[in-house]
Amino acid sequence: MADSKDTSKTSQPDLEDSTNVVEKHEKVLELSASQARENQISETGMEPVSLWVFLASAIVLLIGGGVLGAGGKLFSYSPHPEGYTRPEFASDADTGPTIGPILEALSKRGKNIYAKCSGCHGSTGNGDGNQYPPLAGSEWVTGSTGRLAQIILNGLSGPIDVAGKTYNGNMPAQAPLTSAELAAVMTYIRNEFNDVGDVVSVEQAANAIKDYESRPQGAITVPELNADHDTMLEGEVVDPSTNVNFETLQPAAAE
Ligand code: HEC
């Protein structure tokens, strides 16, 4: 029958042949399906993963993440022990050169020098109300810088009235102090514990040290202070807002 077919009429299928086509087609499908299976198996590591594996993993990750995240208690991300606060640097040496008003520069340095005094006069300058007189509200601090400088350098003995109360003890000499140290501690106690609002310059402090060196050694007394030193120290008056370098205390341009 096939022989008798005209080639131009092959588009017209006969019924016997079409049953064969269906069979063949099924075979082809079977073959390609098994081929596809072979391909999947052969490429190790590239096998498709079932959806439920993804879902299960996602659930595990979500729950796990939640547990860790909720967990200041299970886990701490801080390397420091509980309650740790970072200490402030106490020293001003490692903050590098700063520029600012000389009143601030001297007071800052004076605060360090005042450590020499705070054991007796107290960190707030209030003394102890008994043996050690206060520097806060004392006219020996706020008054003439000549007397104040000599008390600090020589020490003091004998009776002294401070803020309405008489003290009679002995203060040890605080010399040697450099002129910068003396200027700093005087500026500090005049402005931190009182409101004088001026600075004792390094030049003025240097003149006080000259006065100290020209008198005999030993603690000074109130009569000598009033007779010889009840004046403001010699030296140019410096405007407290003058900008200086905190290290050198020399005038500097504003930042
Ligand atoms: C060991 C203790 C002691 C130390 C340290 C000391 N003082 Fe005094 N200071 C005294 C005593 C005591 C008096 C009173 C002396 C008297 O009665 O004659 C006094 C008196 C004074 C006075 C005059 C009275 C008044 O209260 O205003 C000044 C100012 C003063 N001290 C400043 C200083 C400064 C500044 C320093 C540090 C650089 C210093 N003192 C360190 C014990 C001390």
Atom from ligand 1 closest to the CA of residue 157? 18
- On whether the pTM is more than 0.75, the answer is no
Q: How confident is the model at residue 231 (pLDDT cuts 50, 70, 90)?
A: very high
Q: How confident is the model at residue 40 (pLDDT cuts 50, 70, 90)?
A: low
pLDDT of amino acid 43:
63
Is the pLDDT at 28 greater than 50? The verdict is: yes
What separation in Å is there between the alpha carbon of 93 and the centre of ligand 1?
27
* Backbone conformation region of residue 217, classed left if phi is above 0, alpha if psi is from -120 to 50, else beta: beta
pLDDT of amino acid 5:
47
Check residues 77 and 100 and name the one with the higher pLDDT: 100
Q: What is the pLDDT of residues 197-228, one digit of tens each?
A: 999 999 999 999 999 999 999 999 999 999 99
The residue count of the chain comes to 255
**Which residues form the pocket of ligand 1, taking CB atoms under 6 Å from any ligand atom?**
116-117, 119-121, 132-135, 138, 140-141, 148, 151-152, 156-158, 160, 162, 167-172, 174, 185, 189
Of 113, 114, 120, the one to substitute when testing ligand 1's pocket (max ligand atoms within 8 A of C-beta) is: 120
Pick the CATH number of 98-239 from 3.50.50.60, 1.10.760.10, 3.40.630.10, 1.10.1040.10: 1.10.760.10
Contact 110, 184 (CB under 8 A): yes
Could you give the dihedral angle defined by the CA atoms of residues 8, 13, 16 and 22, in that order, rounded to the nearest 10 degrees? 130
Mean pLDDT of the chain: 86
